[in-house]
Structure 1
Amino acid sequence: MPQRWAAPQLTCVLFVLLILTARAFGQEPPYFVTYSDVLEEPGNLEIASQNIYSTPKDLNPFYGQTVELEYGVTGWWTTEVYLQGQVTAHDSTVFTGFRFENRFRPLRESHWINPVLYLEYEDINQADKSFLEITGNQVIQDKAVSNALLRADVERSIEGKLILSSYWKSFNFSENFIAEKNVSNEPWEFGYAAGASRSLANGGSPRACRFCRQYFAVGGEVFGGLGTRYNFGPTGTSIYAGPTFAYNAPRNLTIVAGPEFGLNDNSAKVLWRLKVAYEINQFRDWFRRSR
């Protein structure tokens, strides 16, 4: 194994071993990019590793990793920090930046359409290959430049999302509209994401088991850019869509996996994704006990 690939893969292995050996996920829909109305339980902390791998045509293969720390502040407010990095074959390993997000649910009761307001500050350089969203006129060919040049171009921006989420029988339907503004003098950029999913079983099993149907969920999502305020529309940007599969283990472990396929020439052929998340119940009580 080349040395430049060893560190990220070792990090993933250690992370998985840590959560599998712990004693301590909520049943949120199995999406990678799309947000639903599900927020973190108050006082709970979720630690997640989202991994992505791709071999785009005429570009070097790359692996990206995003570490997510999500905390439920209240029943209507969830905050989250992202730390991101990537490895590009025949190039280098780089830390690409961080994001700080907050999600707010303005309506306490559940409705036919449940809105959530999203606000994020991001400090990300252009070497980022996390594909957590697509805005503006992003195309995969932008990543053909070396990491050394891409990391020198840092973008600090404010991003907002309108998240809409609905439920019908066992299905969840979620739609996101994204608006992003660089703090420098650049135009607003827009994007979208949408997903649908369902659990394989509505109720619990009468017997104890680790792999009962209620622990599994399937879904799919689509996301892409919508240009800028001066050139609004879905043309000239990347579009991805694909299925997702999730396993929500009884002891707060969640694994989500799936391929996302590029739907036009501006996209990579396929993005392979794997997310592993572990939820610590009532994390804030750890500090109260220590007093």
Structure 2
Amino acid sequence: MYRIFLAHVLLGATCALSLVAGRPAVAQDKPYFVTYTHDLEEPGNLEIETKTSLGRPQGGNHFGALSTEFEYGARAWWTTEFYLDGQTTANESTIPTGFRFENRFRPLMKEHAINPVLYIEFENINGADKTILEVVGHDGQADLAEHNGDAREDHEHEGEFKLILSSNVHDWNISENFIAEKNFAHEPWEFGYAVAVSRPLKTSLSLRECTFCLEKVTAGAEAYGGLGDTWDLSLHDTSHYIAPVMGWYLPARMRVTFSPGFGLTGSSLDRVYRVGWAYEMPQIGSLFRSHKKEVVR
């Protein structure tokens, strides 16, 4: 399990070397691990984010799963994202589990009472994936207890669709996600949900730049789970979680997030712990354009 922590630390250290001092953190993204909001990446910006999940299924070994995300603001209304996933399980092995390609589209650019976003994702993963980026259908801890040697042989090509509804009410963010996922190998449609709420601990900004101040911390909670599938559209044998969340916005466009999750049904993990880290690189596209002009000269 220590290998995934080492990979997490090395990635954070490598990116930290490229920080540009003095750039303030952008406290736009909410500290959710499963739920999406209507916030998209700023056009031209690239955000690198890691999400680590730690848990132990009943009858299985402790595991740590790492998802590394590269999120780019293609347009003001379009954000595209690429994920690389992997996991390590105690007494078993450390393996990559696949990749995901995601796109989010915001049809209404002005702020409304409810802001919809359309989400489309293609997943090429195997059965050993334990990132728990969503819970759909009858997903449960039994799936996470399967031995890596067997689970990695199960290759899954899936399409995932989400309707994201998000609102900013005064200082609060309230978001709801409705999920539909389809395995292309003649499997039924699976459904799930995620809902979340959060707000900064302090809304008035300090007159000076600070790191250890309440306006840099956002707290809230999210809940998520499965809603069955087209063969059994019910809550029978489904997993559900409730999880407090906290985000700390650091200088130089960095963000650290943490969430302890608690299972609510017998199919759920008893606990799942999540840690996240993110760094935003502003206007990465303009850097390549500037380099191209210099080469032409």
Query: How high is the TM-score relative to the length of structure 2?
Result: 0.94
Structure 2 counterpart of 1:196? 197
Are the aligned partners of 1:19 and 1:253 in contact in 2 as well (CA < 8 Å)? Answer: no
C-alpha contact 2:191 2:227 (8 A) present in aligned 1: yes
Contact 2:60 2:146 in 1 (8 A): no
Query: Residue in 1 aligned with 2:3?
Result: 7
Where does residue 70 of structure 2 map in the other structure? 69
Q: Which residue of 1 aligns with 2:144?
A: 143
Q: Deviations over 1:239-289 (max 9, x none)?
A: 111100100113100000010101111011110100000000001011011
Query: What is the match of residue 245 of structure 1?
Result: 246
C-alpha contact 2:3 2:88 (8 A) present in aligned 1: no
1:206 to partner: Cα distance: 1.0
**Which deviates more, 221-230 or 11-20?**
11-20
Of 208-217 and 220-229, deviating more is 208-217
- How far apart are 1:186 and its partner, in Å? 1.3
- Within a 5 Å distance, the mapping from 1:9-158 to structure 2 comes to 9-24=5-20, 25-158=26-159
Contact 1:27/1:248 (8 A) holds in 2? no
C-alpha distance in 2, partners of 1:135/1:270? Answer: 18
- CA deviations 1:124-167 (Å, max 9, x no partner) are 11100000001111110122221111011111011100000011
The alignment partner of 2:284 has SS state of coil
| 1:218 positional shift | 0.2
- Name the amino acid aligned to 2:68: V
- 1:169 is matched with 170
Give structure 1 stretches of 5+ with no counterpart.
none
Structure-to-structure mapping, 1:196-215, within 5 angstroms: 196-215=197-216
Tell me how many residue pairs correspond in the alignment.
Answer: 287
Q: Tell me, yes or no, if the aligned pair for 1:176 and 1:192 is still in contact at 8 Å.
A: yes
Q: Structure 2, unaligned stretches of length 5 or more?
A: 21-25, 293-297
Whole-Å separation in 2 of the counterparts to 1:200 and 1:143 = 35
- For the residue of structure 2 that corresponds to 1:284, the secondary structure is helix
The aligned amino acid for 1:43 is G
Give me the whole-angstrom Cα distance separating, in 1, the residues matched to 2:201 and 2:289.
38
Shift, 1:8, TM fit:
2.0
Asked if 2 retains the 8 angstrom alpha-carbon contact of 1:216 and 1:248, the reply is yes
Structure 2: which amino acid aligns with 1:51? T
- What is the CA–CA distance in structure 2 between the aligned matches of 1:201 and 1:76, rounded to whole Å? 29
Return the alpha-carbon distance in structure 2 between the equivalents of residues 59 and 222 of structure 1: 24
Question: Matched residue of 2:14: which SS?
Answer: helix
In the TM superposition, what is the alpha-carbon distance from 1:99 to its structure 2 partner?
0.5
The answer for the alignment partner of 1:235 in structure 2 is 236
| 1:215/1:250 contact within 8 Å kept | no
Instruction: Determine the C-alpha separation between the residues in 2 that align with 1:273 and 1:231.
Output: 30
- Distance in 1 between the 2:41 and 2:213 partners? 24
The Cα shift of 1:230 comes to 2.2
What value does the CA root-mean-square deviation take over the aligned residues? 1.2
- 2:58–2:141 Cα contact (<8 Å) kept: no
Q: Please, what TM-score do these two structures have when normalized by structure 1?
A: 0.95
Give the secondary structure class of the aligned counterpart of 1:51.
strand
Could you tell which deviates more after superposition, 206-215 or 259-268?
Answer: 206-215
Question: 1:50-102, CA deviations, whole angstroms, 9 ceiling, x for partnerless residues?
Answer: 11111233210001000000000010000000100100111111111110000
Matched, 1:183 2:193: no
Q: Which stretch of structure 1 is more off in the superposition, 228-237 or 74-83?
A: 228-237
